[in-house]
Structure 1
Amino acid sequence: MLVKTFGGAVHGVEARTITIEATVGKGTKYYMVGLPDNAVKESLRRVESAITVSGLRMPKQKIVLNLAPADIKKEGSAYDLPIAIGILAASGQLEGADVESYFIMGELSLDGGIHPIKGALPIAMHAYDSGFKGFILPMANAREAGIAEGLKVYGMTSLLEVVGLLKKTQIFEPIKVDIRAEFLKKAALYEFDFSDVKGQENIKRALEIAAAGGHNAILIGPPGAGKTMLAKRLPTILPPLNLLEALETTKIHSVAGKIPESTAIITERPFRSPHHTVSDVALVGGGTHPMPGEISLAHNGVLFLDELPEFKRTVLEVLRQPLEDRKVSISRAKFSIDYPSSFMLIASMNPCPCGFFNHPEKDCICLPGIVQKYISRISGPLLDRIDLHVEVTPVNFEALADNQNIESSLAIRERVIKARELQIQRFKEFEQVHSNAEMSSNQVRNICLINDKAQALIKDAMEKLGLSARAYDRILKVSRTIADLEQSIEIEIEHIAEAIHYRSLDKEKWN
C-alpha cells in the first residue's frame, strides 16, 4: 500500500514541499531514498522505538521510503514524524485517516515524544499557500506557526496524540494566535532607556541622527566612556517594528531556531552583538547546513560590533556587500541562497591599543606609528560605508552626580518617528527604499539638493580631508536626515557642517 505524507524543507527563509512516500511489502529490510543525510537516515531507529513504545505495531516487512523531490538534500530530524505516520498508514493502522491533507513535521524521541523543529513559521506559511488543511507539529512550535492565519495549526506532544487526531478518536483544538493583539501587547518593550545615560549629549545627538536616517555609526573613545552603554540603547529610539517587519524578522529567527516557546512574534527590533572571535560564516551565514548569520538575525534591527579592530580582517570585509545591497547571497557549488540583511551597523573601538590616544587627561603610552597601525586594521572601504564617526569622551564627575531629569528614549523616539514619516512620504514610489541611508547615488543627486555655499563647504572638506566619492554621498545623506529632524524642506549650510563634523576618522589627527 502506498501512502503519501507531506512536510517542508527550508531554503533560505522560504519553504518548499517535501513528499514522503511510504510502502510496506514483502521482505524484511528498510530502504530510504531521496538524498537523505545521516540525521534523516537515523530516523528509522527513532521511528521504530517511538512506534513500539507507543503501543503501535512496527511492520516486520520491507519498508521503502522515498523523499521527493529526490534531487534536494533532506537534512535534520524534523522528518521523523511524517515518516512514522507514513509507515503506520501504509501498514493499515490509520484506516480512514486523511493524512494527505496535513503538513506534518517533528522530531521523535525514543519514547514517542515530539521535540521542536526549526523553520516552523516559513513552513506553516508555505503550507497555507499550498492549500493544505492544517499543520501538525511539536507543541513548542505551535504559537510560532499559528501566525499563519487561515491554517489550522495543531501542537502535539506525542506520536499517540497525532494518531488520535488523524483517526479522530481524540479532539484537539487548533492553536489560535491573534497576531495583531500579540504585536501591540509586546511592541517596543525595552529593558534599557537613554535616561540611564548621564552626560554624552553630543553622542546622543549623533545616535538620534543615525536612528532617524538608518545610518551606520562608529563610536571611538577610551575604555569606560560609555560606548557599549549607548549602543545598547539605540534600539529604544528606533521606530517600532510594523507588522510586516515583525513577520520578516520572526521568519528569519524561526529558520535559525531562535524563537522562545512563549513568543509567537518578535516585536522588538533585534540587537545582535557577536563576540570579536566570530567567524565569517557565523557572521554572514551559510555553512554545511545553511543557516542565517548574525547580519540576517539583525535584519530590521542593529548589529553591534564591539572593539571593531579586534575582529579578523576577513570577517570585517565580508560586511561590505551586505551593507550596500541590504541582502547577502551565499553561493556554493550545490546551492545559492539569499538572506535579507537590512540592518544598522553600530561599531565601537578604542582609539589605540592602550585606549588613551587623544584623552583629555590621561597620556597615551603607545609607540609612534602604533595608533595609525591600530586604526588601519579597519579598511578604508569599510569606513567609507559608515556614515557617522563619533568621538566619545569620558563623562566628568559633575555630569555623573547630576540628578536632574534626563531625556528619555520615548521623547527621542518621537522626533525620530516624525523624521521617518517624512522619509516614508519621500520614498513612497521606491519599493526598496525606506530611509535616507538606503538612497542610491542617483537618488542622492536628485533629492539632496544644496545651495552654492553648502557646495563650497563640502568641496573644501573633501580637499582637506581627502574624502572619497562615497563619503561625499554619505555627507549628503546625513545632512538630509539632520534637516528631516528639524522638519526642514531644504538642506541648509549648518546641516552640511554638522554632517561633515561626523567624519572624525578622516581628520588629520587620526592620520
Structure 2
Amino acid sequence: MLAKVLSSALIGIDAILVDVEVDLAPGLPSFATVGLPDGAVKESKDRVKAALKNSGYDFPARRITANLAPADIKKEGAAFDLPISIGILAATGVLKGGRLRDYILLGELSLDGGLKAVRGALSIAVAAKRAGLAGIILPAENAPEAAVVEGIDIIGATSLSQVVEFLSGREGIDPCRIDLQELFSSGCDYGEDFSEVKGQEHAKRALEVAASGGHNILMIGPPGSGKTMLARRIPTILPRMSFEEAIETTKVFSISGLLENGRALMAVRPFRSPHHTISDVGLIGGGTTPKPGEVSLAHNGVLFLDELPEFKKNVLEVLRQPLEDGRVTISRSLLTLTYPSRMMLVAAMNPCPCGYLADPTHPCVCTPIGIHRYRSRISGPLLDRIDIHIEVPAVTYRDLSDRGEAESSLEIARRVGNSRRLQLERYRGTKIHCNAQMPPRFIKKYCELDTAGNRMLELVTDRLGFSARTYNRILKVARTIADLGGSEHILEEHIAEAIQYRSLDRRAP
C-alpha cells in the first residue's frame, strides 16, 4: 500500500514542501529511504522502528520504501522521523482520514516515541502559510516559534501517539497562540546603556553618526580605552526592529539551532562578537552541511570584530562581498544557498602591537617596521569598505571620577530614529534603508555639494590620495551628518566632519 504525507526541507533560510511517500510491498523485510537523504535521514529507520514499537504500534514486516520528493534536493536532519512514521501507519491502515494532506509534519523521534525539537520551525510555518495549508504539526517545544506566523494552526505535540490520535480525530489539540505585541515589548531590554560610558564624547558622536546611517566603523585606541564597552552599546541606539526584520533574523537563528529555548522571536538586534581565531567558514558560513556564519547571525544587527589585525588575513578578505552586497552566496555541486548578511560592522584595534602608540602615560616599545607590519594586516580594499575610522584615546581620571550623568541611549536613539525616518522617506519605493546602502546614482542625486564643500573635498582627495570608494564613503557619511542636523543640503562643516572620520587610508601628501 502507498501513503503520502507532507513535510518540509530547509534551503538557506527558507523552506520548501516535501512529499513523503511510503510504500509497503511484499518481500523480505527491509527499509530504504530515497530522495537524496543525508546520514541523519538514513538513520531514521532505526528510530522510527523503535518509536513505533514502544508506542504500541506494530512495525510491518514488509519491504518499506520511503521517498522524499523532490528527489534532487538534499534532505538533512532528523525532522523527517515523524512524517515517515505517520506514513507507515497510514500505509498499514492504522491511521485513516483526510487530514494527512492538510498539515506539514516534522519532528525528531526519541526511541520511546517522544518528539524532540528541530531546527527551522519558523521558516517551515511561513512555507505552510504560503502553500495555503491548514497548519503544521511539530514538537511542542517548537510551537511558540512557529506560532509567530498567524493565519495557520500550529499544533504542538509531545509524542507520536498524540499525533496519531489528533490525525484520527479522536483527540483535540488546541493550536498554539502567542501575543506578538507582548513578545516585542518584553524582549526589547538590552541591559546596557551609553550613560554608563564616561568621557569619549568624540567617539560617541562617531558611533551616533554610524548608527544613523548604518555605516561600518573602526575604533583605534589603546587597551582599556573603552572600545568594547562602546561597541556593546551600539544596538541600544539603533532603531527598533520591524516585524519583517525580526522574522528574518529569527529565521537565521532558528535554522542554526541557536534560538534560545522559550524565545519565539528575536525582538532585539543581534550583537555577534566572534573570537579572532574563527575560520573563514565560521565567519561567512558554509561547511559540508552548509550553515549560516557569523555575518548572517548578525543580520539586521551588529558584527563586532575585536582586535581586528589578529584575525587571519584570508578570513578578513572574505568579508568584502557581504559588506558590499548584504548577502552571502555559498555554491555547492548540488545547490547554491544565499544567506542574508545586512549588518553593521564594528571593528576595534590597537594603534600598534603593544597598544600604546602616542599614549601620553605609557611608552610605546614598537619599531616603525613592526607598526607598519601590524597595520598592513588589514588590506586597503577592506578599509575602503569601512566608512568611519575613529580614534578612541585613554580615558582621563577626571572623566572617570565625574559623578555627572552622561547622555543615555534613549536620547541618542531618539536623534538616530529621526535621522533614519528622513532616510526611509528619501528612499521610499526602493530597497535602500539607510545612507550607507546608497548606490552611485543615488549619491549623485542626494549628495550634491556647494562650492565650498566641493573645493574642500577636492583638495583633501588630491592631497591625501583617497580612492574613488573612499570619496563615495565620505559623501555618504556627510549626508548622514546633514540628516542628523536636520539639513537638506550638505554643507562645508558636514564634509569637514566626515573627512575627520578617515585616518588609516591616507597616504602622505
TM-score category, normalised to shorter length: over 0.9
Deviations 1:308-347 (A, max 9, x none): 0011111111111111111111122221111111110000
Question: 2:360: which partner in 1?
Answer: 360
Match for 1:147: what amino acid? V
Match for 2:113: what amino acid? G
Match for 2:119: what amino acid? K
Question: 1:39: which partner in 2?
Answer: 40
SS of corresponding position for 1:222 = coil
Q: Give the C-alpha shift of residue 464 in structure 1.
A: 2.5
Question: 1:239: which partner in 2?
Answer: 239
Question: 1:504: which partner in 2?
Answer: 503
Contact 2:380 2:505 in 1 (8 A): no
Question: 2:389: which partner in 1?
Answer: 389
Question: 1:491: which partner in 2?
Answer: 490
Question: 1:324: which partner in 2?
Answer: 324
Contact 1:187 1:241 in 2 (8 A): no
Whole-Å separation in 1 of the counterparts to 2:86 and 2:208: 55
Q: Give the C-alpha shift of residue 507 in structure 1.
A: 4.3
Structure 2: 5+ residue runs without aligned partners? none
Which TM-score applies when normalising by structure 2?
0.98
Residue 333 of structure 2 is aligned to residue 313 of structure 1: no
Match for 1:145: what amino acid? A
Structure 1: 5+ residue runs without aligned partners? none
Residue 281 of structure 2 is aligned to residue 281 of structure 1: yes
Q: Give the C-alpha shift of residue 404 in structure 1.
A: 0.5
Question: 2:193: which partner in 1?
Answer: 193
Which TM-score applies when normalising by structure 1?
0.97
Question: 2:75: which partner in 1?
Answer: 74
Q: Give the C-alpha shift of residue 479 in structure 1.
A: 0.7
Deviations 1:246-280 (A, max 9, x none): 11111221221221231111110111111111111
Change (3 A) 1:31 1:187: closer
Contact 1:14 1:123 in 2 (8 A): yes
Whole-Å separation in 1 of the counterparts to 2:148 and 2:317: 37
Question: 2:426: which partner in 1?
Answer: 426
Deviations 1:94-135 (A, max 9, x none): 133622221000011111111111111111110111122220
Residue 165 of structure 2 is aligned to residue 164 of structure 1: yes
Contact 1:187 1:240 in 2 (8 A): no
More off after superposition, 135-144 vs 162-171: 162-171
Change (3 A) 1:72 1:139: same
SS of corresponding position for 2:96 = coil
Question: 1:206: which partner in 2?
Answer: 206
Match for 1:239: what amino acid? P
Match for 1:168: what amino acid? G
SS of corresponding position for 2:253 = helix
Question: 2:255: which partner in 1?
Answer: 255
Whole-Å separation in 1 of the counterparts to 2:441 and 2:215: 18
Whole-Å separation in 2 of the counterparts to 1:427 and 1:294: 28
More off after superposition, 156-165 vs 392-401: 156-165
Q: Give the C-alpha shift of residue 179 in structure 1.
A: 2.2
Whole-Å separation in 2 of the counterparts to 1:306 and 1:171: 52
More off after superposition, 8-17 vs 377-386: 8-17
Question: 1:292: which partner in 2?
Answer: 292
Q: Give the C-alpha shift of residue 186 in structure 1.
A: 2.7
Question: 2:97: which partner in 1?
Answer: 96
Question: 1:459: which partner in 2?
Answer: 458
Q: Give the C-alpha shift of residue 182 in structure 1.
A: 2.2
Whole-Å separation in 2 of the counterparts to 1:254 and 1:206: 33
Match for 1:332: what amino acid? R
Contact 2:115 2:139 in 1 (8 A): yes
Contact 2:383 2:505 in 1 (8 A): no
Contact 1:16 1:126 in 2 (8 A): yes
Match for 1:417: what amino acid? G
Contact 1:249 1:266 in 2 (8 A): yes
SS of corresponding position for 1:175 = coil
Question: 1:120: which partner in 2?
Answer: 121
Moved over 6 A (4+): none
Q: Give the C-alpha shift of residue 188 in structure 1.
A: 2.9
Contact 2:148 2:265 in 1 (8 A): yes
Deviations 1:130-151 (A, max 9, x none): 1222200111110111112111
Match for 2:353: what amino acid? P
Contact 2:47 2:109 in 1 (8 A): yes
Whole-Å separation in 1 of the counterparts to 2:429 and 2:366: 52
Whole-Å separation in 1 of the counterparts to 2:405 and 2:149: 44
Whole-Å separation in 1 of the counterparts to 2:243 and 2:33: 42
Contact 1:59 1:91 in 2 (8 A): yes
Contact 1:331 1:337 in 2 (8 A): yes
Contact 1:194 1:230 in 2 (8 A): yes
Whole-Å separation in 2 of the counterparts to 1:423 and 1:263: 32
Residue 230 of structure 2 is aligned to residue 230 of structure 1: yes
Match for 2:486: what amino acid? Q
Match for 1:23: what amino acid? D
Whole-Å separation in 1 of the counterparts to 2:501 and 2:151: 49
Residue 138 of structure 2 is aligned to residue 137 of structure 1: yes
Deviations 1:390-448 (A, max 9, x none): 00100011110111011100000000000111111111132x11101000112111111
Contact 1:143 1:261 in 2 (8 A): no
Residue 496 of structure 2 is aligned to residue 468 of structure 1: no
Q: Give the C-alpha shift of residue 79 in structure 1.
A: 0.4
Contact 1:102 1:133 in 2 (8 A): yes
Q: Give the C-alpha shift of residue 25 in structure 1.
A: 2.7
Match for 2:46: what amino acid? R
Deviations 1:151-198 (A, max 9, x none): 101111111111121112222100012324422x23531111001100
SS of corresponding position for 1:99 = coil
Match for 1:18: what amino acid? V
Match for 1:467: what amino acid? F
Contact 1:458 1:496 in 2 (8 A): yes
| Count of residues in Structure 1 that have an aligned counterpart in Structure 2 | 508
